[in-house]
A and B are shown apart, each in its own frame.
Chain A
């Protein structure tokens, strides 16, 4: 079972097309192993991205250096999944 300890999900809000392009560049950097839940498309649409623990700091630094606004949607993904699993186990009982 794959675990997601330390993975964060960020909600990124772009304010112009240039920032959208920066996110599309980020999307193409395969070594970061980002999982875009909502892909960058237009500045009006927020972007949600799951970031493995090892890439969190790099991605945040990238966003901050380009003045791109973001908030943390999920602080630690594994915590959410553990809670979900507990809920299912409780319901099954």
Chain B
């Protein structure tokens, strides 16, 4: 079969084009499968790429991007990373070893309604697009909607705010779909979520300013991953718990995953040129993705080598 569809990983794409590329990757590589884990508020499918070379319910790693829809470089990086994982299996020793023992699940567009809305109506949109009963405003910040310190400091109770936590934990179907999937799988060992921007590599907690039980290991692994990022273009990442690194924030993704037994829970805020914030020009997609990849691989290899 002929390789490639001319898909340009160095430019931004619509949801339709991204989903078509997921189909292409799934058709091109026998160990890649596109699965639907749910649908968004506006009934768009939530697609995950499953990388699996066999076995049954192997220990797994989760990777997602684009939960804040306007952070386009994250969805674009996730696609590049998907292609990188697929094409490196069998040629790169680390990726091969990883996929020979573990499964990997990648959700490149965690908030498809918001993503489409950024393309069609408002480039600044970051939330979901759910209708809030009793309010003229739409959408919930899906990174304040998880059942961990829900409704606490760092989230807004105002439905018109960009950090609105939602009417209840898991009120957003985009969040609930991931929660249900992680719970039903039951064997996730790492959860990595990509955001932009501000060059941070964070671990729990966000809803409280106390150190997690695995603080020493997460801090050390985080620093190692940050060094891996720096090795390519010199981009410096700050490492630490969400609460002390940026601010206290209730209801965040990795607080929920950590509380539910996923020890290696990290949130990355990708590069900041100091000029564009999350409106990174497309010329930065490949540098961003390529510098992020060694950090992700570093964490994933650590997870493989430190079973629990």
Contact = CB atoms under 8 A, between A and B. Distances in A.
A45 B247 contact: yes
Given A45-B246, A84-B12, A87-B12, A38 B198 contact: yes
A74 B197 CA distance: 15
A84 B280 CA distance: 9
Interface in B143-197: 162-163
Contacts of B276: 73-74, 80
Given A35-B124, A35-B162, A81-B123, A87 B281 contact: yes
Interface in A60-93: 73-74, 77, 80-81, 83-84, 87-88, 91
A35 B282 CA distance: 23
A42 B277 contact: no
B1 interface: no
A77 B123 CA distance: 10
Contact of A74 (B162, B246, B279): B279
**Interface range for B:** 20 to 34
Contacts of B13: 88
Contacts of A50: 124
Contacts of B122: 1-2
Contacts of B247: 39, 41-42, 45
B281 A73 contact: no
A91 to B, nearest CB: 4
Interface of A: 1-2, 4, 9, 11, 35-39, 41-42, 45, 48, 50, 73-74, 77, 80-81, 83-84, 87-88, 91
18 contacts: A1-B120, A2-B122, A9-B277, A11-B274, A36-B162, A38-B198, A38-B246, A48-B277, A74-B275, A74-B279, A77-B279, A80-B276, A84-B282, A87-B11, A87-B281, A88-B11, A91-B8, A91-B282
Interface of B: 8, 11-13, 120-124, 162-163, 198, 246-248, 274-279, 281-282
